[in-house]
Amino acid sequence: MSETHFETTSREMMAFIEQSPTCYHAVRHFQALLDAAGFQPLREHEPWKLAPGGRYYTVRNGSSIIAFSLPAAPYQGFLIAAAHSDSPCFKIKEKSSLETAGQYVRLNVEPYGGMLMFPWFDRPLSVAGRVTAMTGQGIETRLVNMDRDLVLIPSLAIHMNRSANQNASLNPQKDLLPLYSMAGAVPLRELIAGAAGVRPDAILSHDLFVCCRMPGTVWGANREFIASPRLDDLQCAWAAMTALLQAENSTHIPLCAVFDNEEVGSGTKQGAGSTFLEDVMKRISDVTGHSREEYQIQIARSFMLSADNAHALHPNYPEKADDANRPFLNGGVVLKYSANQKYTTDSVSAALFLAICRKAGVPVQIFANRSGIPGGSTLGNISSSHVSLNTADIGLAQLAMHSPFETAGVKDTLYLVRALTAFFNSRLTCLGDGSYRLE
Ligand SMILES: [Zn+2]
């Protein structure tokens, strides 16, 4: 793996992120990649026909996607990589316009997910998402991406807030409302309608977000770092989908699931806490002619990797990391452990992942929360409550998680693509009692 290869892969991933300001755009972009690779779309509200050797994908709510490749021969189970499509940002409220002193117009927004708020100040932001409108076709949903510097959240000058550097206490309804225009400018709804190609009064509702559109960049003395919006978790989602596109397996179904709403608890109809994954796996099994018992055997022979970014040791705050289980940028794929099972990894699932990475020559580093500092949770254990699979939690090391502009290592994207490609291509035979044969 040459230096340039590492950088090329990370740049390709960041170009994907740049074109994916929201989860809807990320999923639309994945659909385009899958279409180009010959995957066929399946719609949940229509019957499915599946052929051995066929490659397929299905989308729920325009914001979650599952893609898979059927082996040419009868299959034993599923090899699943899961990630999430959403990132913390500001959602624009239905009534979106607020005036100040008859002069300024601000957008009325509320936080989506557990965001770091202060880095959102003083950087150009845009608006993207989807609108649902009455058109000649009936009620129709269209994606919108303003893709220009449209709004900004100005901070309060230090002269008017002398303690700004000591106590930053932020109230999202007061401090974080983006400035949109001077009074009398074209309303946001009109701009959005123009971008969507509908009349303003045709828009019935919207899911619009304020998003950071700074382009990703490679930086550092040796160009060893990357920074980009939405690395959590589009870096893992892109790596998983890229690995799936090149997957070939004769005994298992490689399946990539990218879920929306991880940042707000996964409890929506399209989140990892929904029946989406279970519905798709069950349906594949049914349509390929298997009984309920055969499906349960397939589940028992399956394995899942839940891929979500992990905290690297922060150079200014080493005391926040565990004394031994602390990953670094560029150190390889992170395997996450939690005694309380916030992460699904146990010794068996860890051993499988480590064996796959060892075979593929991919470095692995270990993460555990510093005891007493509770970390975030992720989608692995939530998904497990619906489809209970042997699962390991993995991810890529990053800094500034949930900032609008996050930092990671330039090498790690390719490490994850390599690890997941090896995973999707592996022949994994379940022997029972925590034993496997790996070929
Ligand atoms: Zn995440």
Give 247 Cα–ligand 1 centroid separation in angstroms.
Answer: 24
Question: Once rounded to an integer, what is the mean pLDDT over residues 188-197?
Answer: 97
The hierarchical CATH code for the domain 3-87+229-438 is 3.40.630.10
Q: How far is the CA of 233 from the centre of ligand 1 (A)?
A: 5
- 204 CA from centroid of ligand 1 (Å): 31
Mean pLDDT, all residues of the chain: 95
Distance 197 CA to ligand 1 centre (A): 33
If pLDDT is split at 50, 70 and 90, which confidence band does 336 have? very high
The residue assigned the tokens 């670094």 is 328
Report the largest interatomic distance among the alpha carbons of the chain, rounded to a whole angstrom: 72
Summarize pLDDT for 259-281 with one digit per residue, the tens.
Answer: 999 999 899 999 999 999 999 99
Are 333 and 420 in contact by the 8 Å Cβ rule? The answer is: no
Where are the domain boundaries for CATH 3.40.630.10 in the chain?
Answer: 3-87+229-438
Report the distance separating Cα 186 and Cα 320, nearest Å: 47
Q: Please report which confidence band the pLDDT of residue 164 belongs to, taking 50, 70 and 90 as the band edges.
A: confident
Please report which confidence band the pLDDT of residue 1 belongs to, taking 50, 70 and 90 as the band edges.
Answer: low
In CATH terms, the superfamily for domain 89-212 is: Aminopeptidase i, Domain 2 (2.30.250.10)
147's tokens: 């893709």
For ligand 1, the distance from its centroid to the CA atom of residue 212, given in whole angstroms, is: 17
CA of 292 to the centre of ligand 1 (A): 33
Q: Give me the pLDDT at residue 261, please.
A: 94
How far away, in angstroms, is 394 Cα from ligand 1 center? 11
Burial class (CB in 10 A: 0-12, 13-18, 19+), 297: middle
Mean per-residue pLDDT for 363-392? 87
Taking the centre of ligand 1 as the mean of its atom positions, its distance from the CA of residue 85, in whole angstroms, is 9
CA of 398 to the centre of ligand 1 (A): 11
Centre of ligand 1 to C-alpha 295, Å, is 30
> Do 413 and 235 contact (CB within 8 A), yes or no?
yes
For residue range 307-330, what is the model confidence (pLDDT) as tens digits? 999 999 999 999 999 999 999 999
Ranges for all domains in the chain classified under CATH 2.30.250.10:
89-212
The tens digit of pLDDT for each residue in 91-149 reads 999 999 999 999 999 999 999 999 999 999 999 999 999 999 999 989 999 999 999 99
Residue 2 pLDDT level (bands cut at 50, 70, 90)? low
